[in-house]
Amino acid sequence: MYLRTTTRRAADGTLVRYLQLAHNEWDPAAHRSKVRVLYHFGREDTLDRDAIRRLIGSLSRALPPGEALVAAAPPELRFAESRPLGGAWALDGLWRKLGLHEILARLLRGRRLDPAAERVLFALVANRALGPLSKLSCAAWVSELAAIPGLDALTDDQCYRAMDWLLQIEAELAEQVYWATATLLNLEVDLLFFDTTSTYFESDQADPPSAGASKGFRTYNGHSKDHRPDLPQVVIGLAVTRTGIPIRVWTFPGNTADMALIRQVKDDLLAWKLGRVVWVTDRGFASAENRRYLQRAGGHYISGEKLRSDSAEAGAALARQGRYHVVAGNLEVKEVVLDEGTMRDRFVVCRNPTEATRDAAIRERLVGQLEAAIAGSDDLAPAARAKLACDLRGTPTNRRFLRTTGAGLLRIDRAAVTADAHLDGKFLLRTSDPTLSAADVATGYKQLLEVERGWRDMKTTLDLRPVYHRKEQRIRAHVLLCWLSLLLIRLAEQAAGDTWRNLRFELEKCHLVRFAGSTGDVLQRTELTTRQAAIFRALGVPEPPRYAELPTPAVAVSA
């Protein structure tokens, strides 16, 4: 396909040129190619050049990023390379809106570090959000594949030195990042959500004990949230606001107890003087010691309670009569007060009718399967029946609904089934705050899902795991980089109203193309699509300049 020019002589004797979009096709009968005209543009002197430009722009959208510029480049320029620019440019804009470049520059003063350490840390953070790689591969990514504003090349030594420095300034950086984020977004910190996860390491053995510790950093715990208790792990804690903004992350040895976790987190944030804070924690932190520690210095908590526990308070709260009130959608709540003491805990029973129907259907199916499994067991020998009972009790649900009679026969525990039915669709909350309504307690706890979403994004989008480091300080620094990256993508998602996956897909189609010419190199970005321009506006980030670098013409100097 090509642009064909034909010439005709007009009545006054002048030559007139016509432009056509043509294509050569092979004619098997004539054994030669023939010209097929696809479109007539008309006379060259009356050509609608704006229409031609629109057509070229429309056709360019069908080309991969960079190739459209190559097709339209003047012949004296030679295409050299094309790198994705949009994602890094957007993240850098958010990085600067938070003032992170100024914070890190201030913390750099007086240290024997490369002044480019701030750019190196940004590149490491951007890599987690755009294409997670190991630190060794990240150096090649910056030097050969990505367009990072203010950083043309990177070495692995620069990566490791910047990570070591990041760990040294962790506490001060975390506090300043929080206040910068709070100022930018006018954050509400009356509710702070805290939860932990674990990440494992593909290692045959745990770390040896360090000085003053009974175990190493990467160690076995017996319980793994990643379902890999056979591998050594570390524990990671995350605190987020009610809108899902991660304000700080902590990394603990793999065998750290809940009490030590919650005390360090509480003490670290106490120094920030946040004022009135209500901590929202999952059932794993609901011990009496943890609850009382969170109440120090005027703090309060909302925590989940285990329904099927031996807690007398939980049993009394569930047994108390009362009317449910609808608070949001299909969520119903009722408040239960067990005593009138000054340090009393309030209990809120929550029920979801939709989940109650689902729980009943699941229990009915499980009980049916258990009945089928024990059918005919009365005719078995006592030893065979005992073995069957042992096998069935290996499943927690079967263990809850199966009983053995005095004669050794296997039966369904109907009392347990009835008791379990009373818990359908319910969850129990405990709070020490006397001012929050039952509805606020319930909806506040439901927002704990923001932490779960944070873990999901850190483990998938940002590739928290696998961790390629083995030294404790490098592991901690790696987690900090993931936290900073999660902070930037949360800011992007809230500003643009879309997921980071969709934003990244669109932004990464904006490329920076380098052309080599006789007078030097020219860096030009591709044309922004309507969606890309809208994203930059939503983020409050200026669009990348059309030309990043222009050759300087040589000036003749007379003798």
Give which of 425, 369, 356 is closest to 395, Cα–Cα. Answer: 369
- 353 phi and psi angles, rounded to 5 deg: -55, -35
The pLDDT score that the predictor gives to residue 372 is 93
Please state, in angstroms and rounded to a whole number, the distance separating the CA atoms of residues 55 and 62.
12
Detail the DSSP E strand segments found in 76-115.
Answer: 78-84
C-alpha 76: how far from chain center: 45
C-alpha 191: how far from chain center: 21
C-alpha 142: how far from chain center: 22
The pLDDT score that the predictor gives to residue 10 is 79
Q: Sketch the domain layout of the chain as residue ranges.
A: 355-421
DSSP state of 296: G
Q: How many residues does the chain have?
A: 559
Please state, in angstroms and rounded to a whole number, the distance separating the CA atoms of residues 457 and 440.
27
Cis before 466 (ω within 30): yes
The pLDDT score that the predictor gives to residue 358 is 94
The pLDDT score that the predictor gives to residue 216 is 75
The pLDDT score that the predictor gives to residue 435 is 83
- 178 phi and psi angles, rounded to 5 deg: -60, -50
Please state, in angstroms and rounded to a whole number, the distance separating the CA atoms of residues 270 and 123.
31
The pLDDT score that the predictor gives to residue 559 is 39
The pLDDT score that the predictor gives to residue 557 is 45
Mean pLDDT in each 10-residue stretch from start to end of the chain (559 residues)?
Answer: 81 83 84 84 80 69 62 66 93 95 87 84 95 88 93 92 91 89 75 83 75 70 76 87 86 81 82 76 78 77 81 80 82 80 75 92 93 92 92 87 91 92 89 86 83 88 83 91 95 94 95 81 87 96 84 47
Please state, in angstroms and rounded to a whole number, the distance separating the CA atoms of residues 230 and 224.
9
